Amino acid sequence: MPFRSIDCILFNSLDGPASCELADGWPLAGMFAKVVLSCSQLSVLATDQQVRAVAQDLKEYIAELRQIPRTVKSEYQICNALGGGILDWRIGDSQREELRFRDETEFNSKLTYDLPFTTEAWDTIMKSYGVKHDIVFTHVDLNMRNILVDENMRLSGIVDWECAGWYPEYWEYTKGHFGVRVHVRWIADVIEQAFTQYPDELEAGVMLASMAPLW
């Protein structure tokens, strides 16, 4: 039987009794946990100093992630880790079609296609999309469930890489604001501290998310 080449990503197990979602008082379902601590316990244990430490740890993780060299041989700048179609709940069609883009202009066109913009809304969009961003390796789904912390509330690992790929540098920052809006502390003390801020891109992203269907 002939051999064939297969691209793959190697995963390893991570130590960490809870995710940041637990630490902020979220439900237990779906967590990767060696030792399940109660939401109330972790909520009390998460001091301001510990939250700042998580933000700094995450900042260092992201900096390292963005140093990953692009070795994918593809004409598409924005694609998944292997050069194929992206997968992101923020872009509903990505679950049904192979979506990849030669450059940021093509990507922006997809995000804004056939949406009912007012003149004011389009001006807001152009503040973001008129800027050229670096394309960097991106996790894409850095929500509180996917960031593991140890018993000392230090970041011990990041899980759920199925959506990872090559995206504009702002994408991780704006995605970090979706799905956790009731958790003001997470956004203010972690996301805003760990990432370079992209206020125009965030405003555009929130607007587009309200207009375009997700998964």
Query: Domain range holding 120?
Result: 18-211
pLDDT-derived band at 5, boundaries 50, 70, 90:
very low
- Report the domain count for the chain: 1
Quick: pLDDT tens for 133-174: 999 999 998 887 888 888 787 888 888 999 999 999 999 988
Question: What is the pLDDT at residue 99?
Answer: 95
- pTM: predicted TM-score of the whole model, two decimal places: 0.71
The fraction of the chain above a pLDDT of 70, given in percent, is: 73
Question: What is the pLDDT at residue 78?
Answer: 97
Question: What is the pLDDT at residue 2?
Answer: 46
Residue 12: inside a domain: no
Q: How many CB atoms lie under 10 A from the CB of residue 56?
A: 15
Question: What mean pLDDT comes out for the span 119-123?
Answer: 90
CATH number at residue 45: 3.90.1200
Q: Measured between alpha carbons, how far is 141 from 126 in angstroms, rounded to an integer?
A: 25
Question: What is the pLDDT at residue 185?
Answer: 65
Quick: pLDDT tens for 21-67: 544 443 333 333 333 332 223 444 577 888 888 889 999 999 999 99
Residue 13: inside a domain: no
Sheet with 155-158, side-by-side order of all strands: 18-19, 147-149, 155-158
- Which runs of consecutive H residues, i.e. helices, occur in the chain? 20-23, 39-45, 48-65, 104-112, 119-129, 171-175, 184-186, 192-194, 199-211
Q: Distance between alpha carbon 16 and the CA centroid of its chain, in Å?
A: 20
Residue 3: inside a domain: no
Residue 124: inside a domain: yes
Residue 1: inside a domain: no
Residue that has been written with the tokens 């018993």 in this structure:
151
Q: How many CB atoms lie under 10 A from the CB of residue 134?
A: 9
